[in-house]
């Protein structure tokens, strides 16, 4: 059995490293000592979760409650803990320091194992209802009472949702592979399984039970898949050159839904894989009526504006749902779901079936089914026809088109050239990317009033899972938006930069990498202060970046990758 104190020592070691290879090796050594009964727990702890997002079980412990627990376990007052926390900027570090000073600890050794710690935190997460906050503090205090100072550091960081080790999902998968095979050759297989169930704990456990489980891992209802992601190109010609004859679909700017049904039960998941079933009673009803007993499909949901005979945009659709209440909005602004992919039907995993075959089934299944309809699509082999379709989409007020490789499988969680987007703005000089906010700046001049001077933005290196900065954004916000942004970001301020971030440019305030924004820009340039796709000390930066919108439908996994930025740069500046 794996002692939590041993795990904490390894975490401490990893935290001091910056090289990914070394991290992987140290982690692999730890994974070798872990068995099938505890590997899932260890993986969740490392991800800073107790269960995958769609389980609906959140850690649910606010910082205030954690401070209370630290105070009672260490014997210090809440204000003493607060003062120390303000100094260190990390409640985990504060916990360690105060537990060290705890009386009679000299000979204290803990013998909690990983499962014990995980189960205790699970119990804390699950306690709800009246008096549950006091319960949570009590359980957490008990846990800390049994902990060594170093264990305390990681217990507190775990309950607050991040161990701050700088270890991303790809590193965990690599380490599992190295632990079993001595090299990274199993990473791809493990990653595929992870991408089709979004539950790394489950994948790790099944793999430890029998590696064959992973080879034959299949899509299952109520285990949502990581959504496939689209690449981008800037002209119809480039698209035809890249994938030849393709299926070209309208690109709807709505809310991506992943719909699951089995034995009369329906669940709908968002792009971030959170359950949204209750938001869409009208869609649930329509799914119930579908013939297959088991089905998983994806579509883009948009409300229809009867008066203006146009679809509302994503922002407008959500606004209406919030303002008018769900049931009212369902009647007033009926939802339409444009089905664009089919992943599973009655026991059959379709993710490896070519797109053209999945599409044929969609057309048959969703024809004339009311609010669920196939996305509008055409087979196209000439760039002029693609251009025509693109113009048609913008005339309709849609976002552009999605070109799909006829022979490609469903690339769960991956950005491959199976899907290529051509968006409204591409033809012009304006382009957009999605990035995550990692820090922000104090205001100067007229903005001082709001104490807000802009954002530091990062994209993600998909190979290492690390974040790399690409822009400092000072415009595109209204005053109202600035105030709201500052308020929102103030709540997730951290003393230290995110451990997962590679940066050179400092922010005035660092934040947890959580909020995704869409950003327009004029060009991609080479910069010595940003780390995006950096080589020889030079990375990419956005020229004239400005915020377009906060994308609360997107999470870190959806943001633009450094590789994509590299491709965009090469497209704009052919060598």
- Site residues for ligand AMP, window 447-486 (CB under 6 A)? none
Report the distance separating Cα 524 and Cα 569, nearest Å: 6
Of 46, 124, 402, 433, the one binding ligand AMP (CB under 6 A) is 402
The three state secondary structure string of 394-421 is HHCCCCEEEEEECCCCCCCCCEEEEEEE
Phi/psi zone of residue 154: left (φ > 0), alpha (ψ -120 to 50 degrees), beta? Answer: alpha
Is residue 76 near ligand AMP by the rule CB under 6 A?
A: no
Contact 527, 538 (CB under 8 A): yes
Q: Which residues contact 377 (CB under 8 A, 6 or more apart)?
A: 247, 248, 249, 250, 359
Cβ closest to ligand AMP, residue 46 vs residue 457: 457
Please report how close the Cβ of residue 406 comes to ligand AMP at its closest, in angstroms.
14
Is residue 272 near ligand AMP by the rule CB under 6 A?
A: no
Is residue 313 near ligand AMP by the rule CB under 6 A?
A: no
Report the distance separating Cα 26 and Cα 17, nearest Å: 10
Name the DSSP letter for residue 322. H
Report the distance separating Cα 302 and Cα 336, nearest Å: 5
Is residue 249 near ligand AMP by the rule CB under 6 A?
A: yes
Cβ closest to ligand AMP, residue 410 vs residue 441: 410
What element of type H or E holds 232? strand 229-232
Cβ closest to ligand AMP, residue 160 vs residue 403: 403
CA angle 215, 216, 218 (to 5 degrees): 125
Please report how close the Cβ of residue 426 comes to ligand AMP at its closest, in angstroms.
11
Please report how close the Cβ of residue 424 comes to ligand AMP at its closest, in angstroms.
11
Cβ closest to ligand AMP, residue 105 vs residue 572: 572
Is residue 230 near ligand AMP by the rule CB under 6 A?
A: yes
Query: What is the total count of residues that contact ligand AMP (CB under 6 A)?
Result: 12
Report the distance separating Cα 268 and Cα 278, nearest Å: 8
Classify 306 as helix, strand or coil. Answer: coil
Q: Which residues contact 445 (CB under 8 A, 6 or more apart)?
A: none
Cβ closest to ligand AMP, residue 402 vs residue 568: 402
Is residue 405 near ligand AMP by the rule CB under 6 A?
A: no
Pairing mode, strands 229-232 and 415-423 = parallel
Is residue 375 near ligand AMP by the rule CB under 6 A?
A: yes
Is residue 38 near ligand AMP by the rule CB under 6 A?
A: no
Stretch that binds ligand AMP, among 107-115, 248-256, 321-329, 354-362 (CB under 6 A): 248-256
Residue from 415, 402, 386 nearest 341 by CA: 402
Enumerate the active-site residues. 251
Q: What is the CA radius of gyration of the chain?
A: 25
Please report how close the Cβ of residue 376 comes to ligand AMP at its closest, in angstroms.
8
Is residue 312 near ligand AMP by the rule CB under 6 A?
A: no
Please report how close the Cβ of residue 298 comes to ligand AMP at its closest, in angstroms.
8
Q: Which residues contact 568 (CB under 8 A, 6 or more apart)?
A: 232, 431, 433, 524
Residue from 569, 242, 518 nearest 403 by CA: 242
Cβ closest to ligand AMP, residue 72 vs residue 460: 460
- Site residues for ligand AMP, window 121-160 (CB under 6 A)? none
Cβ closest to ligand AMP, residue 256 vs residue 486: 256
Closest residue by beta carbon to ligand AMP: 256
Contact 208, 390 (CB under 8 A): no
Stretch that binds ligand AMP, among 57-65, 218-226, 250-258, 343-351 (CB under 6 A): 250-258
Cβ closest to ligand AMP, residue 249 vs residue 502: 249
Please report how close the Cβ of residue 518 comes to ligand AMP at its closest, in angstroms.
8
Report the distance separating Cα 265 and Cα 554, nearest Å: 26
Token reading at 226: 């990581």
Token reading at 49: 């979760």
Is residue 251 near ligand AMP by the rule CB under 6 A?
A: yes
**Which residues make beta-bridge pairs with 265?**
262
Question: What track of x and - describes contact with ligand AMP for positions 321 through 360 (by CB under 6 A)?
Answer: -------------------x--------------------
Is residue 252 near ligand AMP by the rule CB under 6 A?
A: yes
CB atoms inside a 10 Å sphere around CB 538: 14
Q: What is the full DSSP assignment across 137-192? A: HHHHHHHHHT--HHHHHHHHHHHTT-------HHHHHHHHHHHHHSSSTTHHHHHH
Report the distance separating Cα 292 and Cα 549, nearest Å: 38
Cβ closest to ligand AMP, residue 136 vs residue 271: 271
Stretch that binds ligand AMP, among 117-125, 180-188, 206-214, 246-254 (CB under 6 A): 246-254
Cβ closest to ligand AMP, residue 267 vs residue 434: 434
Please report how close the Cβ of residue 485 comes to ligand AMP at its closest, in angstroms.
21
Is residue 431 near ligand AMP by the rule CB under 6 A?
A: no
Q: What is the full DSSP assignment across 58-108? A: -----HHHHHHHHHHHHT--HHHHHHHHHHHS-HHHHHHHHHHTSTT-TT-
Report the distance separating Cα 49 and Cα 58, nearest Å: 7
Stretch that binds ligand AMP, among 148-156, 218-226, 243-251, 277-285 (CB under 6 A): 243-251
Residue from 129, 147, 122, 155 nearest 11 by CA: 155
Stretch that binds ligand AMP, among 28-36, 57-65, 158-166, 247-255 (CB under 6 A): 247-255
Please report how close the Cβ of residue 55 comes to ligand AMP at its closest, in angstroms.
22
Of 97, 319, 356, 421, the one binding ligand AMP (CB under 6 A) is 421
Cβ closest to ligand AMP, residue 137 vs residue 229: 229
Rule CB under 6 A: which residues touch ligand AMP?
227, 230, 249-252, 256, 300, 340, 375, 402, 421
């Amino acid at each position: 059995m794996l002692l939590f104190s041993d795990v904490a020592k390894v975490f401490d070691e990893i935290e001091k490293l910056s090289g990914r290879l070394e991290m992987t090796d140290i982690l692999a050594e730890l994974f070798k000592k872990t068995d099938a009964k505890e590997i899932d727990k260890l993986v969740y702890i490392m991800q800073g979760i107790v269960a995958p997002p769609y389980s609906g079980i959140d850690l649910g412990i606010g910082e205030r409650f954690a401070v209370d627990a630290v105070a009672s376990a260490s014997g210090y007052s809440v204000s003493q803990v607060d003062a120390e926390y303000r100094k260190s900027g990390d409640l985990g570090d504060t916990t360690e320091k105060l537990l060290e000073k705890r009386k009679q600890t000299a000979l204290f050794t803990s013998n909690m194992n990983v499962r014990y710690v995980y189960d205790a935190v699970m119990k804390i997460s699950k306690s709800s209802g009246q008096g549950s906050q006091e319960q949570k503090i009590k359980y957490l205090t008990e846990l800390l009472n049994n902990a060594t100072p170093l264990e305390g550091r990681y217990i507190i960081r775990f309950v607050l949702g991040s161990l701050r080790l700088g270890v991303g999902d790809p590193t965990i998968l690599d380490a599992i592979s190295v632990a079993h095979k001595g090299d990274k050759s199993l990473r791809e297989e493990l990653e595929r399984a992870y991408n089709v169930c979004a539950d790394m704990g489950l994948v790790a456990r099944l793999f430890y039970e029998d590696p064959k489980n992973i080879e034959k891992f299949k899509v299952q209802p109520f285990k949502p898949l990581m959504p496939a992601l689209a690449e981008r190109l800037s002209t119809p010609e480039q698209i035809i050159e890249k994938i030849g004859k393709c299926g070209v679909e309208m690109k709807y700017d709505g809310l991506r839904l992943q719909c699951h049904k089995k034995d009369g039960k329906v669940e709908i998941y968002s792009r971030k894989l959170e359950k949204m079933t209750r938001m869409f009673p009208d869609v649930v009803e329509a799914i119930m009526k579908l013939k297959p007993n088991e089905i998983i499909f994806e579509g883009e949901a948009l409300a229809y504006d009867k008066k203006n005979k146009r679809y509302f945009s994503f922002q407008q659709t959500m606004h209406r749902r919030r303002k008018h209440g769900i049931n009212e909005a369902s009647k007033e602004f009926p939802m339409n779901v444009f089905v664009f992919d089919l992943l599973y039907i009655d026991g059959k995993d379709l993710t490896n079936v070519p797109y053209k075959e999945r599409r044929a089934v969609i057309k048959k299944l969703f024809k004339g089914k009311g609010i669920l309809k196939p996305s509008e699509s055409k087979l196209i082999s000439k760039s002029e026809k693609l251009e025509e379709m693109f113009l048609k989409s913008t005339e309709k007020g849609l976002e552009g088109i999605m070109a799909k490789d006829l022979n490609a499988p469903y690339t769960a969680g991956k950005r491959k050239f199976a899907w290529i987007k051509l968006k409204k703005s591409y033809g012009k000089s304006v382009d957009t990317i999605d990035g995550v906010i990692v820090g922000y700046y104090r205001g100067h001049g007229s903005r001082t009033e709001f104490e807000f001077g802009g954002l530091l933005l990062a994209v993600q290196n998909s190979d290492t899972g690390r974040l790399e900065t690409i822009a400092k954004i000072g415009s595109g916000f209204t005053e109202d938006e600035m105030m709201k942004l500052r308020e929102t970001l103030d709540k997730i301020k951290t003393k230290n930069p995110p451990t997962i971030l590679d940066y050179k440019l400092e922010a005035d305030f660092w934040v947890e990498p959580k909020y995704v924004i869409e950003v327009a820009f004029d060009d991609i340039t080479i910069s010595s202060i940003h780390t995006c796709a950096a080589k020889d000390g030079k990375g990419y930066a956005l020229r004239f970046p400005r915020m377009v919108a906060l994308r609360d439908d997107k999470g870190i996994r959806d943001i633009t990758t450094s590789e994509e930025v590299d491709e965009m740069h090469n497209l704009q500046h052919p060598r």
